[in-house]
């Protein structure tokens, strides 16, 4: 089923992001965690693409497994990285043959060792170009990404919103935000997006901090800011893993409740392939 069709019957969606397991041991662990999350009957799941397109075949294998063996509505991430138009056509034709109807279309990060993204030969430089190509040639439902605190490469919030409007005008059917911890950024972002003429569904992407070491990783990954009150509490208990975990989960439960109470059209959980925190949070909503 296309996610756009799902929206007709679900005002709110609850979904999970996975990434392909790196080895057999990780695959066993992944299977256990997916089993736990399946009990929650998610609206859909998404599967990421490796940095530089490095694990493309694993992404395709996993979306095939989740869509056709497990029966989950699955969204395949697809990026511009190392993808010529011929390669894109080949890949998307393959995804069609395995019953994938939904794509998350991204520019992608520069290949390992490169600081700036360079469009591949006969490929695309921006996600909006990829979205436009897919919109003109295929019948997938198309998701785009957004940053409620501004894309790290954008010079201003206004520039970022203008770029996002281009992405939506190119054919993005809905948006999923990168992670954030301060809901005011999300609400402000949605208001400004609407004023810009972006009327698609904007689903907040959420992740709990379950270990102190994740703080630096998350802030570097998307440029997000950790609220001072949360940072202080985590710092106080950084040597107590169980306490840190509970602080992070409790904070995320309250964050999700506030989002939903104020009109957010669902929650997209970045699971890091772990089920425990996602299950606790989901069951508390």
| Residues ≥6 apart with Cβ < 8 Å to 246 | none
CA angle 117, 122, 127 (to 5 degrees): 50
C-alpha–C-alpha distance, residues 46 and 73, integer Å: 9
Q: Reduced to 3 states, what is the DSSP secondary structure of residue 193?
A: helix
Q: Measuring CA to CA, which residue among 29, 94, 37, 89 is closest to residue 61? A: 94
Catalytic residue among 5, 11, 17, 258: 17
90 is catalytic: no
Nearest-5° angle of CA 109, CA 110, CA 111? 115
DSSP character string of 98-141? TT--EEEEE--PPPTT-SS--PPTTS-SSHHHHHHHHHHH---E
- Stated as kind and residue range, the H or E segment containing 206 is strand 201-206
Which residues are tagged catalytic? 17
């Amino acid at each position: 089923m296309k996610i756009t069709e799902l929206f007709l019957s679900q005002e709110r969606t609850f979904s999970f992001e996975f990434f392909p397991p790196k080895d057999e041991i990780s695959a066993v662990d992944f299977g256990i965690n997916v089993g736990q999350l399946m009990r929650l009957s998610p609206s859909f799941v998404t599967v990421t693409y490796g940095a530089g397109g490095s694990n493309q075949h694993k992404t395709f294998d996993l979306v095939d497994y989740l869509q056709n063996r497990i029966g989950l509505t699955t969204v395949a991430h697809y990026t511009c990285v190392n993808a010529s138009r011929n390669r894109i056509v080949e890949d998307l034709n393959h995804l069609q043959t395995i019953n994938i109807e939904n794509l998350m279309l991204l520019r992608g990060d520069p290949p390992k060792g490169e600081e700036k993204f360079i469009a591949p030969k006969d490929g695309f430089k921006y996600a909006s170009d990829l979205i436009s190509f897919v919109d003109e040639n295929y019948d997938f439902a198309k998701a785009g990404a957004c940053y409620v605190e501004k894309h790290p490469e954008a010079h201003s919030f206004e520039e970022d919103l203008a770029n996002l409007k281009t992405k939506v005008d190119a054919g993005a059917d809905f948006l999923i935000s990168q992670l954030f911890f301060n809901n005011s950024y999300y609400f402000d972002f949605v208001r400004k997006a609407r004023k810009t003429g972006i009327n698609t569904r904007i689903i907040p992407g959420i992740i709990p901090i379950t270990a102190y070491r994740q703080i630096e990783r998350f802030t570097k990954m998307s440029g997000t800011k950790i609220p001072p009150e949360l940072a202080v509490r985590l710092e106080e208990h950084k040597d107590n893993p169980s306490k840190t975990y509970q602080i992070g989960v409790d904070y995320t439960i309250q964050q999700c409740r506030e989002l939903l109470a104020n009109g957010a059209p669902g929650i997209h959980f970045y699971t890091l392939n772990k089920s425990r925190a996602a299950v606790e949070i989901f069951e508390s909503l």
